[in-house]
Structure formats: C-alpha cells, structure tokens
Amino acid sequence: MIGDIDREAKRLQKAALKLEKQLTTRGWTDTVFVEWSSLTERSDTLRQQAARLRFWGDCLQDSVEIVDLRSGEIRDFAINAWMLNETLAGLRQLDHPRIQTLTDKLVAQAPDLLTFLNAMTQPLADWQARTAQHFPNPQWAAFFQSKVARLWRLEHALRNGHRQYTQALVEARQWVAEFAIDDPIAHALAQDLLNLLERVVRTSSAAENINSVLRPFMNSRRESTDQTSRQLFLNLFWLWFNMHKFDRGPRAGKSPYQLAGIDLGTDDWLTLLGYPPD
C-alpha cells in the first residue's frame, strides 16, 4: 500500500511538473495556478501520508512482537496493547481512503491480535520460578532472561532475512554461552526459554492460518450470528478434526486423538454428542 500511495504522489508531481513546462506558452492565470497548486499540494500530502504509514506500520509490527529487539525484554499484554492502541490512533489520523479501510480492518481484528501473549503467561512464570532458584539474585535472573530472549529475537530476525543483525547475533550467542559455560542447569534453562518462545510463535502462526480459512466460512453461515454461536461452531470443528482419521501420509488411518493416546470409547464424533449410531 505504501508503494501505491508513493506512486500516486509521483503521478501527481509529474503532472504538476508537466504543467510548469507548459506555462511558457500558456502563461500564468488564476486557473492554471489553482490547478498547479492543487496537484502539488495533493502530491505533498500523499508523500507525507506514505511516510506516516511507513512509521505506523513499523509500530504495528513492533506491537505484536514477543521480545523487544533492543533490550531483550519479554513483552506482556499491557505493553503491547498500549502500543497497538497508539498505532491504531495514529493510523486514524491519516485520511487516505485505503489507509482508513486498513485501519477499520485492524480495529476489528484488534481483540484477537494479542491473544497469543496470554498463552505465554503461565509457562513463562513457571520458567522464571525455576530460574529464580538457580539465580537467587533477581537482577542476575532478569539479566539472564533478557540475554536469552534477545538471542531468540535476533535468530528470528535473521531467519526473516534481516542480515544487518548478523554481528549482533554472534555477540548475543557469546553472552549466553558465557552464562552457560560449565553450568548445565543454566544451559538447560536457556534452551527451555528458547523453545518456549518458539512454541508461542508457531502456535500463533498456526492459529492465524486456521482463522484465515475458518473466519470467512463462519461469517457466511446463517447459524454464526454472534461470538457465542461462532465459538460453538469452532468447538464442533475442533471435536470433528481431532476425531477424524487422516487419509494419507505417515499418520494415515489414525486421528489426532488416537495419536495423542486419548481413548474416548468411540471414533464417531456424533455419538459423543448424543446422536444414535447409524
């Protein structure tokens, strides 16, 4: 979208420059000046909005991050919710129709954008309790957490193509290695935190992929009239999916419940709901 707005601004600027070149033959008149000034002002406004959109886009991305790239601080819901609200308020100030449409969609999705942070709360608290036992000094424990978390964040950035953080990643690995040298417990704690953060991201990504398919379908159903009916439908889908058997692949012939060792006494999800068997 930023590129489209920039191109729109360049098109208007080009038209204004073309008009300037014609002034030698047409001469300055009030009509020509109004036309030229309108093109110039609209071009400048679009450039400013594109720049602000780029800024708020970066803020939006930052508001859904788990770990602060600079400090290694692990975010919580309150911090990210504040950043998200400030970002949406900033986007509201940009009056370009496409930006407003984008903002409307983001506002509608806002309640669901940060739910992944809630899933991290208890596992992180458990990890911090174990870390406090190994590092009784709270400052050392917090320092250890931030260094490991920043290592994960830098690794994640490089996997996404941000090569400018290569040297920072090398240094972060050295810091964590210094903490864990001749200390198997610290090494295990570091690995556990790396795994915890990775699971949160993977779970969030999987949920987004499922939502991208299910949400449009549920919105089109007459039965899905409110949040409660949508949740009930999702519960049914969850039950069906976990009980259906895979048709092919290494898990063919077994359902997710069977693979997890869960025995419900039947493989018919309708029977579990109380319907008589066929």
Which DSSP symbol is given to 190? H
Which DSSP symbol is given to 219? H
Helix (H) or strand (E) holding 273: none
* Environment class of 184 (CB within 10 Å of its CB; exposed 0-12, middle 13-18, buried 19+): exposed
Angle separating helix axes 97-113 and 77-92, nearest 10 degrees: 160
92 contacts 110 by C-beta, under 8 angstroms: no
240-270 pLDDT, tens digit per residue, is 878 888 887 777 888 888 877 777 777 777 7
Non-local CB neighbours of 26 within 8 Å, separated by 6+ positions: 32
Cα separation, 154 vs 99, whole angstroms: 30
Positions of the chain with pLDDT lower than 50, given as ranges? 205-207, 209
Instruction: Report the pLDDT value the prediction gives residue 198, as an integer from 0 to 100.
Output: 85
Cα separation, 166 vs 142, whole angstroms: 24
Q: Give the pTM.
A: 0.62
Instruction: Report the pLDDT value the prediction gives residue 5, as an integer from 0 to 100.
Output: 76
